[in-house]
């Protein structure tokens, strides 16, 4: 969420950003609703003050009447209401007329208030809905473009394998080696489901633990988080409202299955003032769930795009200074690259274009790992700097050197996502005899196994 003053001063920039990010909303309409909301709020406050004044006048008249009849109940010496009645007003017809007039004005104010408050609620709801859709502006060096085809390659690392035999894709490899059972996964849970078994299950967990160990060595605090969270946590992090169709809602209550532990890692500090003398570094390994609405017919083979997976996520909360959060973006991207180097996989880093970015993202790098069955690099990691977009929604602040409260910056990165990472892991490391080489860094997590074979 952005500051309203910033929105008012940058209408054209934000409308252009919304258009390029594919978000259907009107900044002009938002500002018109904001003006209406503020005008209605002023009128509501004026009427409330008038109603209160008339109510105080009635109370003063009643008190004066009781005093004239000797029924003041011993109120002498107590503070008087702001409006006092004269002796003439406190007796006879003048009293009755004054009270009736004041009561009529109260009734009129209440009627007007009811109508205005209903209108204010309607305008505020429409205003809030549009405000929640305003996109984060992108960095000056973000490439222009409309899809991932327009992302700009920054660097390549590692050599793409040149096989002297016809390589198999990960599904055929996994089935031959007894690691993957897609058919029974579909039988159990429907399309985009799978079963990992034997060393396949162990491999799935091994890459997660390797990633967590790398992050802990680099100062990240591990958290064990719920896999279901309240809607507020998704709103805090900018996954609602734009990403609501990608989540699985639970049947009872305002709870949803997470598609990333970023939701919890950021919301962990919601509503708090935190100490950011040093950046807060958090990590979690969680099951994740996505409906993948709109991706039918795209990347659906095998383990690439599935409903349930596991992710190790890293999140950084730092001071609201562009230089610091940009440095943190480099750090978390380097962490993910280190994990890929330990897995001995060739990859490339791309700068993500504006049309391939989400609402919340200011600057993003994707890491794509070589997948022989696709004959191309496929996305396996993503790093994002969202500036104070999430912190404003979640209410995460810190005190700067002058003691002033400021909103923090937050960043996130996929350290590893599995089973997707198993695609390049199996395909790049396959050998002509049907076995798969196990990278050195994974061997301690697999009982020292150096290879995966059908007779293993």
Out of 20, 51, 281, 290, the active site residue is 290
Helices (H) and strands (E) in the chain, counts: 12, 17
- In sign, the C-alpha dihedral spanning 242, 248, 250, 255 is negative
Dist CA 194 CA 202 (whole Å): 15
Dist CA 30 CA 46 (whole Å): 24
Is the CB of residue 364 less than 8 Å from the CB of residue 352?
yes
Output the furthest CA–CA distance in the chain (Å, rounded): 111
Out of 235, 337, 379, 427, the active site residue is 379
Dist CA 143 CA 138 (whole Å): 9
Q: Nearest CA to 414 among 245, 201, 224, 265?
A: 265
Q: What six digits make up the tokens of 17? A: 């950003």
DSSP 8-state secondary structure symbol assigned to residue 74: S
DSSP 8-state secondary structure symbol assigned to residue 441: G
Dist CA 431 CA 454 (whole Å): 12
* E strands present in 151-297: 152-157, 180-181, 195-196, 221-222, 228-230, 248-249, 255-257, 280-289
Out of 267, 382, 383, 384, the active site residue is 382
Cβ density class 277-290: b for 16+ within 10 Å, e for less: eebbbbbbbbebbb
Q: Nearest CA to 428 among 378, 366, 383, 382?
A: 378
Asked about 420 being catalytic, the answer comes back as yes
Out of 20, 37, 98, 420, the active site residue is 420
Out of 48, 156, 202, 305, the active site residue is 305
Asked about 217 being catalytic, the answer comes back as no
Dist CA 4 CA 10 (whole Å): 10
- Bridge-based pairing state of the strands 228-230 and 363-371: unpaired
Asked about 393 being catalytic, the answer comes back as no
Residues 6 or more apart whose Cβ sits within 8 Å of residue 362: 136, 137, 138, 139, 384, 385, 386, 387, 389
Asked about 397 being catalytic, the answer comes back as no
Question: How far is Cα of residue 43 from the mean position of the Cα atoms in its chain?
Answer: 35
Dist CA 239 CA 264 (whole Å): 12
Cα distances from 15 to residues 24, 137, 196, in angstroms, run 10, 10, 46
Vertex 240: Cα angle to 235 and 242 (nearest 5): 150
Asked about 172 being catalytic, the answer comes back as no
Active site residues: 290, 305, 379, 382, 420
């Amino acid at each position: 969420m952005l500051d309203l003053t910033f929105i008012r001063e940058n209408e054209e920039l934000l409308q252009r950003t919304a258009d390029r990010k594919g978000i259907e909303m009107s900044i002009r309409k938002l500002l018109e609703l904001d003006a209406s909301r503020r005008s209605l709020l002023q009128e509501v406050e004026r009427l409330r003050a008038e109603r209160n004044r008339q109510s105080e006048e009635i109370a003063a008249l009643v008190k004066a009447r009781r005093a004239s009849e000797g029924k003041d109940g011993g109120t002498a010496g107590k503070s008087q209401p702001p409006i006092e009645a004269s002796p003439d007003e406190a007796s006879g017809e003048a009293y009755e007329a004054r009270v009736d007039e004041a009561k009529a004005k109260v009734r009129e104010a209440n009627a007007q208030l009811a109508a205005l408050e209903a209108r204010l609620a309607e305008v505020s709801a429409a205003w809030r809905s549009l405000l929640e859709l305003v996109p984060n502006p992108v960095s000056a060096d973000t490439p222009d473009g409309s899809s991932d085809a327009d992302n700009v390659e920054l660097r390549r690392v590692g050599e793409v394998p040149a096989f002297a035999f016809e390589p198999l894709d990960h599904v055929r490899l996994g089935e031959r080696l007894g690691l993957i059972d897609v058919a029974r996964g579909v039988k159990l849970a429907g399309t985009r489901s799978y079963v990992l078994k034997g060393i396949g299950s162990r491999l799935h967990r091994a890459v997660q633990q390797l990633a967590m160990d790398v992050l802990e060595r680099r100062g990240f605090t591990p958290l064990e988080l719920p896999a279901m969270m309240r809607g507020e946590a998704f709103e805090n992090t900018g996954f609602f409202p734009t990403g609501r169709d990608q989540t699985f809602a639970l049947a009872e209550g305002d709870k949803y299955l997470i598609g990333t532990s970023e939701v919890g890692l950021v919301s962990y500090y919601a509503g708090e003032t935190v100490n950011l003398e040093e950046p807060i570094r958090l990590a979690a390994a969680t099951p994740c769930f996505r409906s993948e609405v709109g991706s039918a017919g795209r990347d659906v083979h095998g383990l690439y795009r599935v409903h349930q997976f596991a992710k190790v996520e890293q999140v950084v909360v730092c001071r609201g200074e562009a230089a610091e959060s940009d440095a943190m973006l480099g750090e978390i991207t380097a962490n993910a690259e280190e994990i890929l180097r330990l897995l001995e996989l060739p990859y490339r880093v791309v700068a993500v274009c504006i049309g391939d970015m989400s609402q919340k993202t200011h600057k993003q790098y994707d890491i794509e790992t070589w997948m022989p069955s696709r004959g191309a690099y496929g996305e396996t990691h993503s790093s994002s700097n969202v500036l104070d977009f999430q912190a404003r929604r979640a209410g995460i602040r810190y005190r700067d050197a002058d003691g002033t409260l400021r909103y923090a910056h937050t960043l996130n990165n996929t350290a590893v996502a599995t089973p997707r990472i198993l695609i390049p892991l199996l395909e790049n490391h396959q050998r002509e005899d049907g076995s798969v080489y196990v990278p050195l860094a994974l061997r301690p997590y697999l009982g020292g196994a150096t290879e995966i074979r059908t007779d293993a």
